[in-house]
Amino acid sequence: MKEETFMIELEGIGKTYTRPGGEPVQALRDVSLRIDRGEFVAIVGASGSGKSTLMNVIGLLDRPSGGRYLLDGQDVSGLGVNELARLRNKRIGFVFQAFHLLPRTSALENVELPLLYSDRPSMKGLGRRALEAVGLADRIEHRPGELSGGQQQRVAIARALVNEPDLLLADEPTGNLDERAAAEVMAIFQSLHESGRTIILVTHDASLAAHCERMLRLEAGRITADERLRQAAVAAQERSS
Amino acid sequence: MSTARLVKHSFKAVARYKLRSGFMMLGSLVGVAALTLVVSVGEGAERKIVSTVHQLFGGSSILIFSGGGRFMGGPRAGAARMTLDDMEAVVKELPEIEVWDPQQGLFGEPVRYGDASTTARVLGQSERSERVWNRSVTRGEYFDAAAVAGSARVALIGETVARDLFADEDPIGAEILIGSVRFRVIGLLEPFGTDAHGMDRDNEVVVPISTLMRRVMNVDTIQGAKLLVKDPSLVRETAREIKRILRERHSLGSGQPDDFTVITAVQVQQMVRKVERVLFVFLPLVAAVSLVVGCVVAASLMLASVNERVGEIGLRRAIGARPGDIQLQFVLETAVTTLGGGFVGLLVGCAGAELVARRMALGEILSWKAILLGIAAAAVTGLLAGVVPARRAARLQPAEALR
């Protein structure tokens, strides 16, 4: 390795939308940040602050209008749609506020969906194991309509995990959940973080950010604060003791 | 990403949305059923027409009817002017005519045997009609030249007449009344079945033409004649010559229309081809229209499905589906549905064709052409209906689709 690479390295990222017939909107302005492997980062901001756009850029769902994005040291701006799709499939798991589970489809089939697009030779048992990891081993054949909101979001988390990505992106994952279900979901993120995954949580709720080690505040498309809430090493020690 | 997995996945997706899939299937079902039915029945009808025409009308025949005007339909000017002498003159002058048979007849003539009675078509013909019309007897014997020359009161009866008058009795040798004239049955005509006009050709009695003309009808004209030419390539020329001779004998001036009609195999074939055009262009056209409708229905339902599933498409893109995977998925979903509907339509169409065939006595009717056409139509429908929605789905931007 020529120099130390970060998991995510953004340099001067800008994103401008031009809606037909409207003024161009600058959703991101000159965003630079680095996220290391294993970090648990919260991106907070009011709605319209550009936090979802930032997550879409980091998650390779949207291309920035300017700047440079290195994922694991690889510049992704030159990659085509199919290469980006492959990277998302292998490297990134997504959790959304609205769950985005396929209706009338069993939990297991929902969880196995990313395997449909993967080139893994064997996929046996992966879905089941991912559901076990989120505590839903007994809900394998249930359909989303037969599950509570918290359970549905746990199915979605299992789906995000099934391909064993090292980056997990969660956009308001507790936005549709009651307090108890939200706490369950956060506990799962916590334990995933402990097992070494990089997690980026996008939320407008500062109290959720308290679960994280680092908080980035976004206002009008700019990063206005970058706070270390706890030292990762210290936090890990606290937990293990 | 393996296509086999995606195909399996599409089947499940189709099963998930039963109502929508059902409507989509209905579209292609109706279209394919119509197409299969129409093509099968069309082919069967054509075979029937061709075989009937062939039976009546080999390649070297010429038909002459008294009366002018058009073949089939329309009043005939100057009917009842043709005589046996006319025909004899024609045959004498034209050595290329191999054999000929005159015809006179009555429709719906009462025929009786004892207490039993029926009505039948009574045809007067010469002893040569056995050969010229290619219809012999299954029992007894045909009347001979002497019977025709001597106006013998002998008759050949068809199977329907035999059944109606004699039931289980042996008709050979029995005496029947045609009108009020007594005839002796000497033969049973070969069964023919229904002809192209839907007429039962077994409800016929054939007697010597001289007997019919003199003893039953009391006329000295004939309705027409059929001639066989030695060499099929001479048919056109011979027909022209026949017209010339008949016009001469009937003293027709150059401005006057024919008072007879000459039809050759060529003309009959042209007519058959006209019928075929209807069967093979217009009917499939109707079926094709219903397929197009099915295709439009499937496409619009699929478009609605894409719009309804924007979130799902965004999610699939997020978890690694390439635009091509999305496109393939929607094409497959449409194809699975329309092919499924098409297959059922094929069965429905074949069953319908079988039913029609039985009613119309068309015989064996299922054609591979119809089946292959049906399958191809369903496949094309599916692809056409699937492509537009699938492309639209594939073009969605993941970030926007997830919003």
Q: Which stretches within A7-148 are classed as H helix?
A: 51-58, 81-91, 107-116, 126-133
Evaluate if residue A178 carries a pLDDT over 90.
Answer: yes
pLDDT-derived band at B44, boundaries 50, 70, 90: confident
pLDDT of residue B270: 78
pLDDT tens for each residue of B184-223: 999 999 998 877 667 888 999 999 999 999 999 999 899 9
Eight-class DSSP state of A39: -
Contact B319 A88 (CB under 8 A): yes
A86 interfaces chain B, CB cutoff of 8 Å: yes
Evaluate if residue B70 carries a pLDDT over 80.
Answer: no
Evaluate if residue A3 carries a pLDDT over 90.
Answer: no
A104 interfaces chain B, CB cutoff of 8 Å: yes
pLDDT-derived band at A236, boundaries 50, 70, 90: low
- The reply to whether ipTM tops 0.90 is yes
Calculate what percentage of chain B has a pLDDT beyond 70: 94
Q: What six digits make up the tokens of A43? A: 């991106």
pLDDT-derived band at A2, boundaries 50, 70, 90: very low
Eight-class DSSP state of A216: E
Chain A residues with beta carbon closer than 8 angstroms to that of B1? 116-119
Evaluate if residue A87 carries a pLDDT over 70.
Answer: yes
Cβ atoms < 10 Å from Cβ of A239: 11
B12 interfaces chain A, CB cutoff of 8 Å: yes
Contact A61 B316 (CB under 8 A): no
Rounded Cα distance between B262 and B224, Å, is: 9
pLDDT-derived band at A79, boundaries 50, 70, 90: very high
pLDDT of residue B80: 64
Chain B residues with beta carbon closer than 8 angstroms to that of A113? 315-316, 319
- Choice among A82-86, A158-162, B49-53 with the minimum mean pLDDT: B49-53
| Alpha-carbon separation of residue B311 from B62, B85, B393 (angstroms) | 75, 91, 11
CB-nearest to B319 from A62, A94, A98 is A94
Evaluate if residue B78 carries a pLDDT over 80.
Answer: no
Residue ranges of E strands in B135-203? 137-140, 154-157, 175-178, 181-189
CB contact set of B153 (below 8 Å; sequence gap of 6+): B181, B182, B183, B184, B207, B211, B215
pLDDT of residue B360: 75
Q: Which of residues 132-161 of A touch B (CB under 8 A)?
A: 159
pLDDT tens for each residue of A122-139: 778 999 999 999 999 999
State mean pLDDT over B20-26: 89
B46 interfaces chain A, CB cutoff of 8 Å: no
State mean pLDDT over B389-399: 94
pLDDT of residue A218: 95
> DSSP per residue over B287-329, as a string?
HHHHHHHHHHHHHHHHHHHHHHTHHHHHHHHHTT--HHHHHHH
Chain B residues with beta carbon closer than 8 angstroms to that of A105? 12, 16
State mean pLDDT over A90-119: 94
Whether pTM exceeds 0.80: no
A100 interfaces chain B, CB cutoff of 8 Å: yes
A40 interfaces chain B, CB cutoff of 8 Å: no
CB-nearest to B16 from A53, A90, A104 is A104
B321 interfaces chain A, CB cutoff of 8 Å: yes
Nearest residue of chain B to residue A92 (CA atoms) = B319
Calculate what percentage of chain B has a pLDDT beyond 90: 47
A233 interfaces chain B, CB cutoff of 8 Å: no
Closest CA to B221 of B180, B252, B249: B249
Evaluate if residue B147 carries a pLDDT over 70.
Answer: yes
A16 interfaces chain B, CB cutoff of 8 Å: no
A240 interfaces chain B, CB cutoff of 8 Å: no
pLDDT tens for each residue of A48-67: 899 999 999 999 999 999 99
pLDDT tens for each residue of A188-235: 999 999 999 999 999 998 888 888 999 999 999 999 999 998 755 455
CB contact set of A239 (below 8 Å; sequence gap of 6+): A194
State the sign of the Cα–Cα–Cα–Cα dihedral B257, B260, B262, B268: positive
Torsion angle, alpha carbons of B167, B168, B174, B180, to 10: -10
Q: Which of residues 127-146 of B touch A (CB under 8 A)?
A: none
State mean pLDDT over B349-364: 82
Chain A residues with beta carbon closer than 8 angstroms to that of B398? 56, 61-62
B10 interfaces chain A, CB cutoff of 8 Å: no
Contact B316 A113 (CB under 8 A): yes
Q: What six digits make up the tokens of B18? A: 């039963």
Rounded Cα distance between B316 and B325, Å, is: 9
pLDDT tens for each residue of B272-325: 778 777 777 887 788 788 888 888 888 999 999 999 999 999 999 999 999 999
pLDDT of residue B278: 74
CB-nearest to B399 from A62, A85, A98 is A62
pLDDT of residue B233: 83
Computed over every residue of chain A, the mean pLDDT equals 91
pLDDT of residue B69: 59
- Hey, of B6, B7, B305, B319, which one would you mutate to test binding to chain A, going by the most A CBs within 10 A of its CB? B319
Contact A119 B1 (CB under 8 A): yes
Chain B residues with beta carbon closer than 8 angstroms to that of A118? 1, 320
Nearest residue of chain B to residue A102 (CA atoms) = B312
Number of A/B CB contacts below 8 angstroms equals 75
